[in-house]
Amino acid sequence: MALSADTPRSYELGDFNDLPVKASTTIYEGAMVGLSSGYARGLVAGDEFQGFAYRQADNSSGSDGDINVQVYHEGLISMPVTGVTGVADVGKAVYASDDGTLTLTEGSNSKVGVIHRYVSSTTCIVKFKAQSTSDAVTLTDSTTGTAGTTINDVTGSFDQTILNNNFASLTAQINNLKDALEKIS
């Protein structure tokens, strides 16, 4: 309905979010936070990354959702990243293997963000953002095709190699676009 009077609203400002904490769980200040069945916990590889805990949240004797944890859900953070070798790693995806460990290895780890700036040795500034199951995922190409920059015509005489190469090329370009969009968002 269109407004016909002032309507004060409640706004949340900044890069914070409050999440209900899983039962029998303590989340420590500075920990990466993941979701398990909709409740926050110290991140475990494969969890949906939700941010970094602003303060400790001790729900060790409580039930699901008895308390909330406040998280920074988006921003920049200085942390060691396993696998970093130098400035050439800027822009690479960063993953978490637990609530305190960042790595360049995807595997079954949780996507956290990208290397924003190389600082020294293994320390980087990481641009992080809470993930959502609706976020785009990296496509896997199992066609045995070879990616290129040209999509070839599949003529009347079917050629499986051309078709596989076309799918491999499309998959590679979709993944490149996804990665580029993640770097700017």
pLDDT of 134 above 60: no
Lowest mean pLDDT among 12-16, 44-48, 144-148: 12-16
Kindly report the number of other CB atoms within 10 A of residue 154's CB atom: 12
pLDDT at 183: 61
Report pLDDT digits (tens) over 50-63: 999 999 999 999 99
Q: Which residues of 108-117 are buried (b: 16+ CB within 10 A; e: fewer)?
A: ebbbbbbbbe
> How confident is the prediction for the chain on average, in pLDDT?
89
Let me know the angle formed at the C-alpha of 10 by 59 and 5, rounded to the nearest 5 degrees: 160
pLDDT at 40: 97
Tokens of 52: 């970094």
If you search the block for the tokens 């993930």, which residue do you land on?
A: 131
More confident residue, 31 or 10: 31
